[in-house]
Amino acid sequence: MFTTLCSLSYQIVKSNVKRSRAPIFLSLYITNRCNLKCKYCFVVDPSYSKEFLRSQLSFDEIREIIDTLYDQGMRMVFMLGGEPLVHRDFDRIVRYIVEKGVYLQVVSNGLLIHKRLETLRLIHGLCVSIDGPDDVTDFVRGQGVYVAAMEGIRLAVKNGIPTRIHAVLTRQNIGQIRVLAETCQQLGIEMTISPPNFLGETDDDYMRISTEEYKTFWSGYLELQKEGLPIVNSPVAIRKCQEWPVDYHRYIRRDEHFPDYKPVFCMNGYTYVAIGADGTMYNCINLGPTNGPNIREHGILGAWERLLDYRPDCVSCSSINCIETALLLKMRLSILREGLRFHKNLFSSLRRTGTT
């Protein structure tokens, strides 16, 4: 773990010193297949083709992606789906990435943790999607999902797997985040939150949140953190969301300037990259998972070279995920402090459980 974190830190420092473009962070969507049909997920969007919704990267493709981008400086992977644990080669994929010396976080709905427990003990972080109390989570994800996911979380914690809960903000849970934070506190784990992954307005009632409602939420969220609840979204990033100077459903353009707000320049396409299960390399899921060159057509490095051609004239958006990633990659001190605190807790957890 220590060596992996040092390697990641070195690549971040190197990129900042050289001011170079390098894909240090990778969001890797290994499959679009899933054992759930969550209401807000892009992989159940009927506007996408059936072929896209069934897409999956093979082990050989993933190995090539990891090897190629590792040589370019990649040292951190967020593994997502769909549900990554349904991939038949999940165990091989995890072992390959970890043995390569890459920091790995897996994002899961939590239902299959018991089946992949031994492999999950190898990863550096497990992020389980829970949206709120049982009625809220089950409304979005399906009947009985909350109980099953919580059983998975408890099993992961018992086995020393560093685990956090992540919620997607919707109209159903916008007033119930305290309940979720208190649940995390009882479990002895941490939580994060993000808005739905799209830009623009939506006709879906359960996701339609106004700019003023967002501002009120972020103010309250920051207060919960100040109370000592285990919210690990960066306070700097939360305040950036709270003070967002335009409509929350649009990004800030390069030609826009504000007297009282300095946007954090988004690093998507510069030191962060995403690759979808269909082979599309893209800047940001908020712009759409098919908005980019395909590695099967252009090759991995060829797609990386073309990637910025697909990025609009955006400087920043109101997604706390993008803001936090940019702050980390720019070595913002407050973000680094949060990371050190998280890993201090992680090392304590590993010592208690005897995990190496």
pLDDT digits (tens, 9 = 90+) for 79-118: 999 999 999 999 999 999 999 999 999 999 999 999 999 9
Q: For 8-17, 100-109, 307-316, 336-345, which range has the lowest pLDDT when averaged over its residues?
A: 336-345
Nearest to 28 by CA among 119, 116, 89: 89
Q: Token pair for residue 87?
A: 């991939």
pLDDT digits (tens, 9 = 90+) for 259-279: 999 999 999 999 999 999 999
Nearest to 102 by CA among 208, 26, 191: 26
Q: Are 53 and 116 in contact (CB under 8 A)?
A: no
Q: Note the pTM of the prediction, 2 decimals.
A: 0.92
pLDDT digits (tens, 9 = 90+) for 168-223: 999 889 999 999 999 999 999 999 998 887 777 677 777 788 999 999 999 999 99
CATH 3.80.30 for domain 109-193+200-247+255-266+315-353, yes or no, is yes
pLDDT digits (tens, 9 = 90+) for 220-237: 999 999 999 999 998 999
- Write phi, then psi, for 143 (nearest 5 degrees): -60, 130
Mapping DSSP to helix (H, G, I), strand (E, B) and coil, where does residue 300 land?
helix
Region 30-36 average pLDDT? 96
Express as a percent the part of the chain with pLDDT over 70. Answer: 92
Enumerate the domain spans of the chain: 109-193+200-247+255-266+315-353
> Over 60: is that where the pLDDT of 336 sits?
no
> Over 70: is that where the pLDDT of 345 sits?
no
Greatest mean pLDDT among 3-12, 14-23, 40-49, 106-115 = 106-115
Where are the strands (E) in the chain, listed by range? 25-29, 76-80, 103-108, 125-129, 163-168, 190-194, 252-253, 272-275, 281-282, 314-316
